[in-house]
Homo-oligomer: A and B are copies of this chain.
């Protein structure tokens, strides 16, 4: 990819991230983004069709990084036993997310949070089913999946937005403690 493209794309991402820390997605204008990024108007529209597609591209970039290691494809995922593979995988994800915490803080605020969380949940819904076989709640399967996926994504939101004093290991521990069925 052309170096100029990379630089412009990154400049827009950075500007967008900076603005998201100050105000909500819905109140950010394209004008503000191109001013902050210091790129031409036509250049912005050459990269992104709309403000929405910029947000989506940013989310995709992050998730591609976080979920790049084919999670859930290998190993023993029975987290009801001593292996604790599931908890390790989650910790792994949390470390990746922690690396992106600067961008995440903005993305998780207000109205853009819904978009980010939506994409996040899509990835989790592909990743989690193999893990929740060890859970034996007496509820519909799709309710349980939604419950676990939402619990984890909201755990991440809680962590990134105001409780960063905890380590990924601790956060994974909190989540597992609240999710696992004891009987």
On A, residues with C-beta under 8 Å from B are 25-26, 52, 110-111, 113-115, 118, 137-140, 142-144, 146-147, 150-151, 154-155, 158, 163, 173-174, 177-178, 181-183
A139 with B182: in contact, given A110-B114, A154-B146 (CB under 8 Å)?
no
Of the residues B110, B115, B137, B178, contact of A144 by C-beta under 8 Å: B178
By a CB distance below 8 angstroms, the chain B residues around A142 are: 163
Lowest 6 CB-CB distances: which A-B pairs, in order? A114-B114, A150-B154, A139-B174, A111-B111, A182-B183, A146-B158
By a CB distance below 8 angstroms, the chain B residues around A147 are: 151, 154-155, 178
**Contacting pair A177 B137 (CB below 8 A):** yes
CA of A101 to CA of B178 in the docked complex: distance in angstroms?
30
CB-based nearest B residue for A146: B158
